[in-house]
Homo-oligomer: A and B are copies of this chain.
């Protein structure tokens, strides 16, 4: 047995990890735009990156190095260092070369506008503000934000029966370009658990499908998506099931927070698909629903337009039948195996659910046991505003 306790501290919750956020003048008005995560001993790294073919320079830079351990991550917002060619890579080398000598194999990560070279001098100057004694997880989480309206952090203490314990903490950013195939999201997880590199890589990958890859804001996949997990093993303690559960909770929480903070979003909707031919088809349905413009605008309009849900299930291309399909808004079943329960009273009840800031749309396809749960949000005027005016 073990016990998970939510604690404060974000990426600094685990022993030996330090973090801070500073302003390097990339964002306007002195807003924080550079973050550091530092470990006082070397870390093993597990990672997973975007499937976008136009992979950003920091990811290519990381991958080119092969196996290594590190004690430092430098993150900047406002500029993605993507579509910047070979110069994008040398810019990273130039920046990392200026770091203090006790920084070993530093990793860089970027998010922001695509296709513009990094403002190298500003970042080099900003990096000099790094102070290894700082534990400011809030400042770090704030510095990595782009269109995010709130910062995203979480941490757990994991206590085992023998009284020993370890910690996992994380911070993430992402509010748009969030999509089932990874997202413009950066997520940095730190742990003092004594987990082996191979094991943590495996657990990280396994958790992706039901967490970040089940979340969609706008169906887009960015050039910079990154999830990195750093372990310095300082606790000397490890428990596979507990670690897996804590990591899953962390990733699921952050994925849902990103959708909740989806650009212009006012609602966090869980799409629970059951009864599909198999899990793959359930996943297709859940993701088609969470990405449908017509469903997303109906959510924004707080309209229990179950017909659009049904039509979208049909459009997803999976095995589906009108007379076995059931649709519910939370526990209000409006369409049950081909029978419509949508009189004025039911419509009023369903409308009430739609007004909530968080609810579940369930679709049972009534065919077999396939199931998948995805997370999505509505699409309203704010999304248009944010994305039409992003660069200006």
Contact = CB atoms under 8 A, between A and B. Distances in A.
Contact of A83 (B114, B322, B390, B392): B322
B387 A298 contact: yes
A310 interface: yes
Given A54-B322, A115-B342, A322-B85, A311 B222 contact: yes
Interface of A is mostly: loop
A181 interface: yes
Interface in A171-185: 176-177, 179, 181
A312 B184 CA distance: 12
Contacts of A221: 314-315
B381 A312 contact: no
Contacts of A179: 315
A51 interface: yes
Number of copies of chain A assembled together: 2
B384 A311 contact: no
A16 to B, nearest CB: 36
Given A54-B320, A80-B307, A301-B389, 11 more contacts: A54-B310, A85-B323, A115-B306, A115-B342, A218-B293, A219-B292, A220-B294, A293-B379, A303-B388, A381-B381, A381-B385
Interface in A365-392: 379-381, 383-385, 387-392
Contacts of A388: 297-298, 300-301, 303, 380
B85 A317 contact: no
